[in-house]
Amino acid sequence: MSTGTPRVIKARVRLGDRVFSTSTITAGSIIVAILAAVAIFLIAQSIPALVAKAGTLPNAASSFWDYVGPLAFGTVWAAFLALLMATPLSIGIALFISHYAPRRIAQVLGYIIDLLAAVPSVIFGLWGVSVLAPAVQPFYVWLNTSLHWFPLFGGDVSGTGRTILTVAIVLAVMVLPIMTAVCREIFLQTPRLHEEAALALGATRWEMIQMAVLPFARPGIVSAAMLGLGRALGETLAVAIVLSPALVVSFFLLTSQNPSTIAANIALQFSEASGVGVNALIASGLVLFVITFIINAIARAVVNRRRAFSGAN
Amino acid sequence: MTAVASGRMVNSLTTGRLPRGSVWMLLIGSWVLLGLVFLFVQLSGATKSFNLVGAIFLGTVLFDVLIFVISLLVEGVRKAKDRLVTSLVATAFIVALLPLVSLLWTVVQHGLGRMIQPSFFSMSMRNVLDGSGGVVHALYGTLEITLATTIISVPIGLMTAIYLVEYGRGPLARAITFLVDVMTGIPSIVAGLFAFALFALLTGNPGFRSGFAGAVALSVLMIPVIVRSSEEMLKLVANELREAAFALGVPKWLTVLKVVLPTALPGIMTGITLAIARVIGETAPLLIASGYSDSVNFDLFSNRMMSLPVFVYTQYANQGSIAEFFTARSWAAALTLILIVMLLNLAARLVARIFSPKLGR
């Protein structure tokens, strides 16, 4: 470690040490190799789709970008809607667990929220299509008839409830646990003295949270949202089961013509795809990977910036 | 804030505040009120069954409004805002509980009857045309694939964590930390596509599917989880233990193997169990890399292999002529899967609880 200094006492190099440290380095290098392999194989398999001529691609797309465009839109749109619902909810739940619930039951409540994370996504899909969609469909009809002027609620209302809004609700439930866990961690790290100072000055609990907890936790909330977004973007089977997809780019929330997502499209089309179709699906997977990579990179950057410049610690 | 009643003895500490217990009474009152409303709706024939979820949800919303208004009148605006946020935060928790309870209830209700039929755990789906058939092939598949995934991921993940904590300095360690972060963000379906592309190229057969390909895909998802959790646990081991071992002349590799690892073992085991629980429910990568079949296949390295989550999906998605048979099997398999995952989570918590007091003080 300190090999730079001139007068260093050299330890005898033992065989066991050599073998052990080499094998840990090998394990670390395997991870590098795996990621390189993921990138290389995906890119290699994507190239035929990227250079494909018009007419050979599925969905009668003129180019690959024409093919992936609506799917990328659907992916981002569904994840965005899910985030819109999940962010305030998860902040509320995290506050409830960290600052409102009695200490003794707070941990149990945390476990209960973690249980949501334990449910496999395919089961969320089954639940979404057989319980949630029929339950919200009458509500959609009401929204559509009474708020038809509002741009998002326009169009012809779906008869099954399998719309992108239902998908977004399912996705929101699925990303809740991870977002809540991150927010909770951050809220618990608020400097105790800041909280007590606010309370001592006569602030109510909400004013204390407003003045001490939320400003401290803002970067953490952003990174929690980004993590949730990353999860929602890559979610596959819940979307594939619940959504009734179509080849459209539309902002309508309640119709049966919904933009599909990249991941759901891969899962639904893969078994029947052949030739360039397979390459197009793999290339769309690459696009999804790039999108999630960018989102995660932003989340990490936000967290690291906080670590460096936070005045609180 | 409010006018103090004149001419009577008043306790100045309790005036202008809501009496104790009034909040809970108000909450229960709103639930009962909305319950009655929904009961009347049901009796009038507008809905078929009693809408408990709606009653609790709307009752809680009514409570949020009521508590704000009442507190505003009695206690003033600052306290009212505080009470409003308190009730909203509690509402958020209840709203999150509703889907969980509804989901568990639905799965048990639809799945239990089919799951306890004897055929479910004794038959595969080979040549099954009637309502019988079971998940034996899927159970074997899930067991083999998960085992293979664990055997691949645990050594790589654990050794990498040891490298990062005990040895890692300089650019390689920084690169690995960064790449583990990237790996955590890989969408599961992309991992499936990678395994598919890898084996299609290696075998030269674009239709190649095997359990092992699925295990490779799942390993891509599992390794970063194990690295992260093991790293956290190894960092928790007190430095004094390492220094004491070095002072006694113990070589570094023995210090890691005999001192650091045993101390961190319970935490590492918990992390591994949670990672298995997460990976065992993954559907998309297995759907692509392992495919699906109706018969038992013990060979991890050739032919399609069924697994439990894929069974849930295919029974739902590819329904035959009599749909009830397929949906019943799908729900029963879903219940089995949830039970397995919950058991694994419980085991992880137990390991953590039984062994963790040895850490720290």
Q: What are phi and psi of A258, to 5 degrees?
A: -110, 145
Residues B252 and B211 in one domain: yes
Q: Is residue A91 part of a domain?
A: yes
Q: Which of residues 74-133 of B touch A (CB under 8 A)?
A: 78-79, 81-82, 85-86, 88-93, 95-97, 99-100, 102-103, 106-107, 110
pLDDT bin (cut points 50, 70, 90) of residue B247 is very high
**What DSSP line would sit under B242-281, residue for residue?**
HHHHHHTT--HHHIIIIIIHHHHHHHHHHHHHHHHHHHHT
Q: Tell me the sheet residues that pair with A245.
A: A258
Q: Are B247 and B259 within 8 A, CB to CB?
A: no
Interface mutation target, options B50, B64, B194, chain A, most CBs of A under 10 Å: B194
Instruction: Quote the pLDDT of residue A307.
Output: 55
Give me the helices (H) in B116-238, please.
136-162, 170-184, 188-203, 211-236
Tell whether the model's pLDDT for residue B357 goes beyond 70. Answer: no
pLDDT of residue A311: 41
pLDDT at res. B273: 86
Judged against a pLDDT cut of 70, whether residue B358 lies above it is answered with no
Place of tokens 């990353």: A230
Print the domain residue range for A113: 63-309
- B350 and B222 together in one domain: yes
Q: Which residue has the higher pLDDT, A210 or B41?
A: A210
Q: Give the whole-angstrom CA distance, residue A182 versus residue A225.
A: 9
Residues listed for chain A: 313
B283 touches chain A (CB under 8 A): yes
For residues B156 and A31, the answer to whether their CB atoms sit within 8 Å is yes
Q: Is B288 on the interface with A (CB under 8 A)?
A: yes
Nearest CA in chain A to B275: A118
Inter-chain residue contact B197 with A30, CB threshold 8 Å: no
B258 CB within 8 Å of a chain A CB: no
Q: Residue A4 — φ and ψ, nearest 5°?
A: -70, -30
Would you give the DSSP letter of residue A189? T
Q: Could you tell me the mean pLDDT of each successive run of 10 residues in chain A, 313 residues long? A: 64 81 88 89 84 70 78 88 90 88 82 80 88 81 77 74 87 88 84 88 88 84 84 85 79 78 85 80 88 83 61 40
Q: Which residue has the higher pLDDT, B164 or A114?
A: B164
Contact status, residue B78 vs residue B41, Cβ threshold 8 Å:
no
Per-residue pLDDT at A141: 79
- Tell me, yes or no, whether B296 and B218 share the same domain: yes
What distance in Å separates the CA atoms of residue B315 and residue B287, rounded to the nearest whole number? 13
pLDDT band at B10 (very low <50, low <70, confident <90, very high): low
Residue B5 has pLDDT above 60, yes or no: no
- The whole-number pLDDT of residue A233 equals 87
Run of H or E residues at A245: strand A245-246
Higher per-residue confidence, A263 vs B354 = A263
B171 and B111 co-located in one domain:
no
Query: Is-contact B185 A296, C-beta < 8 A?
Result: yes
Which helix (H) or strand (E) covers residue A258, if one does?
strand A258-259
| Type of residue found at B59 | G
Look at residues A212, A204, A223 and name the one whose alpha carbon lies nearest to residue A187. A212
Give A-chain residues touching B149 at CB under 8 angstroms: none
Which residue is listed with tokens 């066991």?
A: A16
Domain that residue B38 falls in: 22-116
Measured torsion, CA atoms of residues B277, B282, B285, B291, in degrees rounded to the nearest 10: 110
| Chain A CB contacts of B95 below 8 Å | 89
B96, A89 Cβ separation under 8 angstroms:
yes
The tens digit of pLDDT for each residue in A122-145 reads 888 889 888 888 888 877 877 777
How far, in Å, are A308, B44, B199, B350 from residue B235 at the CA level? 20, 63, 37, 22
In a shared domain, residues B232 and B283 = yes
Query: Average pLDDT of B17-44?
Result: 81
Inter-chain CB proximity A131 and B106 less than 8 Å = yes
* Per-residue pLDDT, A148: 73
Q: Based on the fold, state whether residues B95 and B145 are members of the same structural domain.
A: no
Whether A42 maps to a domain, the answer reads no
Query: Is B259 contained in some domain?
Result: yes
Contact between B280 and B347 under an 8 Å Cβ cutoff? The reply is no
Count of the separate structural domains present in chain A? 1
Same domain, B141 and B106: no
Decide if A7 is inside a domain: no
The closest CB to that of B156, out of A1, A30, A230, belongs to A30
> Which has the minimum average pLDDT: A55-69, A254-268, B8-22, B271-285?
B8-22
* B196 and B58 part of one domain: no
Residue A246, SS3 per DSSP: strand
Q: Which of A30, A112, A123 to probe the B interface (max B CBs under 10 A)? A: A123
Q: What is the DSSP string of A50-117?
A: HTPPTTTSGGG-SSHHHHHHHHHHHHHHHHHHHHHHHHHHHHHHHHIIIIIS-HHHHHHHHHHHHHHH
pLDDT at A306: 58
Which CATH number fits the domain that encloses residue B283?
Answer: 1.10.3720.10
Q: Which amino acid is at A174?
A: M
A285 touches chain B (CB under 8 A): yes
Judge whether A38 lies within some domain: no
As a whole number, mean pLDDT of residues B224-238 equals 88
- Give the pLDDT score at B119: 78
| pLDDT band for position B199 (cuts 50, 70, 90) | confident
| A262 falls within a domain | yes
Domain assignment present for A56: no
Contact yes or no for B92/A96 (Cβ under 8 A): yes
Does B106 share its domain with B147? no
Query: pLDDT tier at B148 (50, 70, 90 boundaries)?
Result: very high
Q: Inspect the interface and report whether the beta carbons of B185 and A282 lie closer than 8 Å.
A: no
Q: Is B151's pLDDT higher than 90?
A: yes
Identify which of B289, B336, B274, B328 has the alpha carbon closest to the alpha carbon of residue B309.
Answer: B336
Q: What is the CATH number of the domain that holds A116?
A: 1.10.3720.10
**DSSP notation for B46-75:** SSSS--HHHHHHHHHHHHHHHHHHHHHHHH
| Rounded mean pLDDT, B310-334 | 84
| Interface predicted TM-score of the whole assembly (ipTM), two decimals | 0.82
Q: Within 13 A of A241's CA, how many CA atoms are on the CB side?
A: 30
Query: Residues B350, B226: one domain?
Result: yes
Q: Taking CB atoms and an 8 Å cut-off, how many pairs form between chains A and B? A: 257
Same domain, B41 and B111: yes
> B7 CA to chain A: closest CA distance, Å?
30
pLDDT surpasses 50 at B56: yes
Q: Which residue among B96, B181, B316 places its CB closest to the CB of A300?
A: B181
Question: How many structural domains compose chain B?
Answer: 2
Give the model's pLDDT for residue A55: 67
Give B158's pLDDT tier (boundaries 50, 70, 90).
Answer: very high
The pLDDT assigned to B147 comes to 92
**Same domain flag for B305 and B201:** yes
B125 or B256: which leads in pLDDT: B256
What would the 3-class secondary structure string for A160-187 be? CCCCHHHHHHHHHHHHHHHHHHHHHHHH
B96 in a structural domain: yes
Alpha carbons within 13 angstroms on the beta-carbon side of residue A243 total 32
For residue A189, tell me if it sits in a domain: yes
Closest residue on chain B to A109 (Cα) = B93
How far from B109 is each of A110, A112, A131, B102, CA to CA, in Å?
26, 20, 12, 10
Q: Give strand pairing partners of A259.
A: A246
Mean per-residue pLDDT over chain B, rounded: 83
Q: Do the domain assignments include residue A6?
A: no
CA distance B80 to B92: 18
How far apart CA B83 and CA B68 sit, in angstroms, is: 7
Domain contains B48? yes
Confidence of residue B248 (pLDDT cuts 50, 70, 90): very high
